[in-house]
Chains A and B, each alone.
Chain A
Amino acid sequence: MDVEVPMAGSSAFTRLLTALIGLTAVVAAGLTLLELDAHRKEARYAGLSSRTAVALGESAAIRTAVLRYEATAIQGVAGLQAKADSRQSSTAVDQLAVRAAEQNALTEVKQEQSKLIGFPIGAKGKARLAAESTAAQAKLVRYGAQLDALGALRAESARRGTRASLALSLTAIAGALLGLAAVLRAGRPGRIVLTAGLLALVAAGAGGMWAVLG
């Protein structure tokens, strides 16, 4: 007949073990959430980075094409004017009628092209083109800074995720040790394993804090 002999400290051991197992479950849940949150943020920042990179490329390509288009109008009309001037100065005969016709044609082209590019061709047009170019460059710099910031946030989230994973591994070790302590019961080996489990759990908690605050 087996008789179970009550051991001193057995009840305290069981209570502590049970509390630690419960605490391990809560720590594991918290760390899982932390890891999930870090991966969630990493995914979000990765998506935003991709979108910003596309917006940067799009802005650079389109603004370059628009500026080239506007510059074509300004330079082209200036070139046309220069050709007409050179032709007229090289003609010896009276050329009033031709000059008037040429000027009319030039004015018409200038007006049409000003309408198309959306601002007047001439000195003001050149100034506007320069301002647009500066604004386009500033926009690209802003996009670049935004990309850098998103990259830093993404890297930070990845670091937090890694730390949470590390802490989660420690929690799993703590859980295994506490399970072993439950099998060994309240003897010396049981207490040693319980202490090791507690230390692993404390390390996991510290890892979790590192992931949150670090």
Chain B
Amino acid sequence: MPDHDAAAAVEGRDTRVAWLLAVAAIVAALIGTWAAILAAEASVSWQDAAVQEVHAGSLRIVFGTAAYNAGAAALDAQRTEAEASNLAAAGRAYDIPAARAEGAALRKSVLVDPGLTMMSAASGQSPDSYDPKVAVASLEKQLAAAKNQPEALQREGDRASRRAVRMSAAAVLGAIAFLLAALARAETRRRPLLLGASLGVLALAVVGALAIGIVI
């Protein structure tokens, strides 16, 4: 009978160790998966930041270039207007019909640039007092009001990435718990110590993973 009890006790210990091994392996795998999910989240956020940057950058390039081209057209129009006034004044003063006609024709050509018409309308300005900086500022205001800002997405990605690294460390703790349990199975003399250490490290891994995943 005592032999039977001893054998039952050994079997019981082996079963507990086997359970610990299985739990440690499952916990390590789950935490590792969680870390992989966080890393994927970081990757998606970084890609979104790049996409948003491309989107905003394209708008800035197209709108900004058009705004300053329209600005150059507005400057041309202003000078044409001045030149038309001067020619008309000189024509009247010296009675030169050609100068008067040229002045009148020049005046007619003022403010017909389609880009200027479009950009002044887009930024709510009058074509004869059009300022490209105002147009660009109106675009920046619209971009700033957009929901997904590249910088915010980049920070979000960085944050998820930091959490992924910490979660990975927790997964390594799970793997160490597995190793300690495996050693406890083989090493009979230090089994209680190794089992205790394995349980402690496993608990640390679980608590750490939950803290990283839920609290931090």
Contact = CB atoms under 8 A, between A and B. Distances in A.
Interface in A1-45: 14-15, 17-19, 21-23, 25-26, 28-30, 32-33, 36-37, 39-40, 43-44
Given A21-B182, A36-B36, A98-B90, A105 B82 contact: yes
Q: Range of interface residues on chain B?
A: 35 or more
B54 A54 contact: yes
Given A36-B168, A47-B49, A25 B179 contact: yes
Interface of A is mostly: helix
B79 interface: yes
A69 B132 contact: yes
B75 A113 contact: yes
A15 B187 contact: yes
Contact of B82 (A66, A73, A106, A116): A106
B42 interface: yes
A23 B175 CA distance: 9
B106 to A, nearest CB: 11
A87 to B, nearest CB: 6
Contact of A116 (B25, B71, B76, B187): B71
Interface stretch (A55-63, A131-139, A158-166, A199-207): A55-63
A43 B43 contact: yes
A116 B132 CA distance: 8
B191 interface: no
Contact of B68 (A48, A65, A105): A65
B175 A44 contact: no
B122 to A, nearest CB: 16
Contacts of B208: none
A55 B57 contact: yes
Q: Range of interface residues on chain A?
A: 35 or more
Contacts of A148: none
Contacts of A44: 42, 46, 157-158, 161
Which 4 pairs between the two chains have the least Cβ-Cβ distance?
A: A47-B46, A22-B179, A65-B68, A22-B182
A177 to B, nearest CB: 17
Interface of B is mostly: helix
Given A47-B46, A83-B83, A30 B179 contact: no
Contacts of A25: 25, 28, 175, 178-179, 182
11 contacts: A25-B175, A25-B178, A26-B176, A26-B178, A32-B32, A33-B172, A40-B164, A47-B47, A47-B157, A55-B57, A68-B72
Contacts of A64: 65
Interface in A79-138: 79-80, 83-84, 87, 91, 93, 95, 97-98, 101-102, 105-106, 108-109, 112-113, 116, 118
A26 B61 contact: no
A72 B72 contact: yes
A142 interface: no
A41 to B, nearest CB: 9
A61 B65 contact: yes
A23 B179 CA distance: 7
A149 to B, nearest CB: 17
B128 to A, nearest CB: 10
B116 interface: no
Interface in B147-168: 150, 154, 157-158, 161, 164-165, 168
Given A62-B60, A65-B68, A91-B94, 6 more contacts: A18-B183, A29-B28, A29-B175, A32-B32, A46-B46, A118-B133
